[in-house]
Chain A
């Protein structure tokens, strides 16, 4: 497709939606004016015009797929024959699946915890130092770049050359300068997961940091000043005042990062492609979508397992929403 064609369809794609809203609404307005505002269905038609596109998209891309995925998980690889719990049984017996579950649990335990912790600590430090906002910018920056870009950055850090060569990867160069053997970090089972998680922590700390920074401003300055005058140490202030005060925020950030980590795919796909026992559910699912022509039954089971992880969070969100409505 030539660049001219491409820019044309891009423009057209956007324009269609603008024109839809403009013409349908203008038409309704003029019709309503002609009938002197006595047109009874004006409001109902207006609602339909306003919500229809979004509703169709919501239905096709979220609601229908959720039910379809559940259905497909009980069918064979082509989605034609009912096979009952066969796909679920396969998953339980599959060593790759168990490995992925374990890895996912590791990710869920380690990444949100460390990101939240670092975010909180850095937000606190930066809040009190005159060059803090520059520091925050720098630590927040990885949030802007892609997981694949971050993957390349860190693959370069982890780069391994044989012991007889000059190391061009930073980590191995440091190790060698201390007199140790260089390591192919990404191929050491179990530990390589930690090296991959480090990338995610590097990215998500920025998210935690900016949210904590905003939340820190809500802590009354007098409270901290008073405890300082009473002789409390900075560490004591941090653990006895700031952490309890930000409990809600900590919970929110922890959940937010948990949701992101649960879907983690790009980093592993780009760095190891799930080899050397680094696979997680999303990668396994992607594999099964295309492996051997694709197996929609097994792929769907894996999608559902990922979904199960967010259901508690989903219910909690709905519960909170309901509470807000009642106020």
Chain B
């Protein structure tokens, strides 16, 4: 239903305003990650979206490139690399008058040599006498530069700055940290929903209380346990399994809570019928509950995976900050400290860390939202 009343236009404008405010910071980061690193540090990212006028200084080729044609000695060359896309609008031969000549003009140097240039940067420099200098003279050009983007920053960040390895590490943290709670909590939630045992209600109340316990409460005691454990068994106190279990612990309450809410909504009759047929709880779990729970699993998987992927604190406390263990967020934080001025590294690194969440977000948004809504309505 499209309306063109005043309120409708006003609300569209207001919403557009919000959308622009919300998208611009991320958009700027993305554009910057694709820009040349020299340009990135001297001009705002928004200038790269339109054709901009830039002034440059180039030096022409020297004497060894000269050829003789008719009565002239000629040096030909191009001041731009191939396919730069830049278009020259004017040029000059002294630093004081960089716009002295327009295209097609012949500029004459003090030594009576003359130069012409076309808009693609090809110049012809000729002289009646032989060129004798190793270096050519300077040309000052003003050109229009169309938007140009490069993947160079990505190559550098992935392979030289260790972001590539951090990416793998993060995956090695996030995958088990998501699957382990999903496995153990699905059995736990099943027991809490469909089995009768002593203390079930107390256990459920404990889960609900644990939902809001800040993970800061657990950091010091668990770190102590890990240190003692490492000392007694002679293994590293900080390790991947340690992080998995920490994430499992911190995600346990919410995963169980969400799964139980889902299981409770399934019809009881199905379970009863299967039991009469002699199926054990494990049969019921495998053959009835599991297939029915796939959408719920998907939602919870996405929530927990994003949580682990984006986490900083747990990875910081329970992993060593060495190349083989450091996770993306910790690496980014490290770069923020050590390379705070190298925006090409920061913007690109940040964008690499966002690829997986953004992919999940756009591909599986429905499940993501469903999980969030389910978790919040009662939480």
Contacts and interface: CB of A to CB of B under 8 A. Distances in A.
Interface of A: 1, 3, 6-7, 9-10, 13-14, 17-18, 21, 25-26, 28-29, 32, 37, 42-44, 46-47, 49-51, 53-55, 57-58, 60-66, 68-69, 72, 79, 118, 122, 125-126, 128-130, 132, 135, 137-149, 151-157, 159, 166-170, 173, 202, 205, 207, 210-211, 214, 233-234, 252-253, 256, 259, 262-263, 265-266, 269-271, 282, 285-286, 289, 296, 299-300, 302-304, 306-307, 310, 313-314, 317-318, 320-322, 325
24 contacts: A1-B324, A6-B172, A14-B175, A25-B282, A50-B188, A58-B207, A138-B22, A138-B23, A139-B22, A141-B26, A146-B311, A146-B354, A148-B333, A155-B336, A157-B25, A159-B343, A166-B44, A214-B373, A233-B7, A306-B214, A317-B208, A317-B379, A320-B378, A321-B205
B221 interface: yes
Given A57-B248, A61-B249, A270 B312 contact: yes
Residue picked from A68, A69, A153, A207, most chain B C-beta under 10 Å: A153
Nearest to A133: B365
B306 A54 contact: no
Given A10-B172, A68-B221, A300-B220, A57 B44 contact: no
Interface in B360-379: 360-361, 365, 368-369, 372-373, 376-379
B29 A69 contact: no
B298 interface: no
Contact of B214 (A1, A125, A262): A262
B241 interface: yes
Interface stretch (B60-68, B92-100, B178-186): B178-186
A148 B204 CA distance: 34
Given A72-B221, A265-B313, A57 B249 contact: yes
Interface string B203-220: 111111111111111111
Contact of B18 (A118, A147, A269, A302): A118
B273 to A, nearest CB: 17
Contacts of A139: 18-19, 22
B220 A72 contact: yes
Contact of B215 (A28, A43, A129, A263): A263
Given A144-B358, A211-B373, A50 B252 contact: no
B376 A256 contact: yes
Given A10-B240, A262-B214, A314 B209 contact: yes
B217 A65 contact: yes
B209 A210 contact: no
Interface in B200-252: 201, 203-225, 240-241, 244-246, 248-250, 252
A307 B209 contact: no
Given A7-B172, A63-B206, A148-B333, A303 B350 contact: no
Contact of B29 (A18, A152, A285): A152
A240 to B, nearest CB: 16
A9 to B, nearest CB: 6
A205 to B, nearest CB: 8
Contact of B195 (A46, A149, A153, A169): A46
Contact of B190 (A50, A210, A265): A50
A317 B350 contact: no
Nearest to B379: A256
Contact of B353 (A26, A43, A146): A146
Given A6-B168, A265-B312, A61 B280 contact: no
Interface string B245-288: 11011101100100000000000000000000010111100000
Nearest to A309: B214
B250 to A, nearest CB: 7
Nearest to A141: B361
Contact of B191 (A32, A51, A126): A51
Given A44-B197, A51-B187, A144-B357, A154 B213 contact: no
Contact of A142 (B22, B207, B312): B22
Contacts of A205: 22
A263 B216 contact: yes
Nearest to B375: A256
Nearest to B346: A152
B221 A69 contact: yes
Given A146-B357, A147-B310, A128 B252 contact: no
B188 A299 contact: no
Nearest to A169: B44
Nearest to B201: A325
Given A66-B213, A266-B313, A286-B316, 9 more contacts: A6-B172, A43-B195, A50-B187, A51-B188, A57-B245, A168-B44, A211-B377, A285-B216, A321-B205
B353 A69 contact: no
A210 B365 CA distance: 11
B212 A313 contact: yes
B90 interface: no
A144 B19 contact: no
A275 to B, nearest CB: 12
Nearest to B211: A317
A147 B174 CA distance: 16
B77 interface: no
B216 A151 contact: no
Interface stretch (B9-17, B81-89, B151-159): B9-17
Contacts of A47: 191, 195, 197
A33 B217 CA distance: 46
B312 A310 contact: no
B188 A64 contact: no
B216 A282 contact: yes
Contacts of A42: 280
